[in-house]
Amino acid sequence: MSAIEVSGLQKSYGPFQALSGIDFRHEEGEVFALLGPNGAGKTTTVEILEGYRKRDAGEVRVLGEDPGRAGSAFRARIGIVLQSSAVYPTLSVREILDLFAGYYPRPRDRSEVIDLVGLREKADARVRTLSGGQLRRLDLGLALVGDPELVFLDEPTTGFDPAARRQAWETIRGLRTLGKSILLTTHYMEEAQKLADRVAILRDGRIVATGTPAELLAGESGVEISYRLNGEDVVLRTTDPTRVLHELTSKALVEGRELERLQVRPRTLEDVYLEVTEDQA
């Protein structure tokens, strides 16, 4: 079954066309990542799916319901991490989790949530004393405290240091093992590559590429070979690296040259992303 089905989704703000007809399907239990530069329409899409915004046209089903009309019962089944943190600054971590737990019919154990997001030492600290990263983890805790089937994470790790980001990834992988469906937006390609089962890349309100990270990488060229020749960078993309490299190095040996800064690396999602979001611009 699909957690989310979107077809022909359109939305404009005045003259600005934010989404011009997008389609995707997010299967239950998957981590689905929406990628794209700022202004591509990621947050607009997510907020339509969460029920915050009305769509202009298209079909949307989230957990089988139309989020534009759904009420309390629908919101009890989803968890939301918005792009910016917002909680009462004078409550403690434990108090705010208690407050939100009370909103849901079958909340998770509060103490378990505190451990899950790594806020054990801060459990009794007032929210206003938390660091940016801790606040973000509290946001995640609040999204999980209702034990949702589907979790929306809008740029959940923006502003994290690398260690905190890796920790957040572990938490998100943990959610996936619990069978939750997760819709993630991010502009960190490494994050998408590490976490997502499938991704869709948005640009100017359209989906320009979609598939599993492996499918997106399986395009015309699997490996990138780069070196410096006469002070100029040369980049070769090839699906046949052994042969290309062999020819290259034999030639260099014959000519008695050094291939400066020779590098062979697999193409990453970032390469694909940059191609589809910039080349056509």
Q: Which residues contact another protein (rule: CB under 8 A)?
A: 50-52, 71-73, 75-76, 78, 80, 82, 84-88, 90-91, 95, 99-100, 102-105, 142, 146
Q: How many CB atoms lie within 10 A of CB 84?
A: 11
- The minimum distance between CB 19 and another protein, in angstroms, equals 17
Instruction: Indicate the residue among 130 and 259 with the shorter CB distance to another protein.
Output: 130
- The minimum distance between CB 71 and another protein, in angstroms, equals 8
Contacts of 241 (CB under 8 A, 6+ apart): 222, 223, 225, 264
- The minimum distance between CB 45 and another protein, in angstroms, equals 16
- The minimum distance between CB 240 and another protein, in angstroms, equals 50
Q: Which helix (H) or strand (E) holds 261?
A: strand 260-266
CB 107 within 8 A of CB 145: yes
Instruction: Indicate the residue among 50 and 271 with the shorter CB distance to another protein.
Output: 50
Helices 93-101 and 132-144 sit at what angle, rounded to 10 degrees?
A: 20
Q: Which conformational region is residue 41 in: left (phi greater than 0), alpha (psi within -120 to 50 degrees), or beta?
A: left
Instruction: Indicate the residue among 99 and 245 with the shorter CB distance to another protein.
Output: 99
CB 134 within 8 A of CB 126: no
Q: Which conformational region is residue 91 in: left (phi greater than 0), alpha (psi within -120 to 50 degrees), or beta?
A: beta
Instruction: Indicate the residue among 82 and 196 with the shorter CB distance to another protein.
Output: 82
Instruction: Indicate the residue among 138 and 207 with the shorter CB distance to another protein.
Output: 138
- The minimum distance between CB 47 and another protein, in angstroms, equals 9
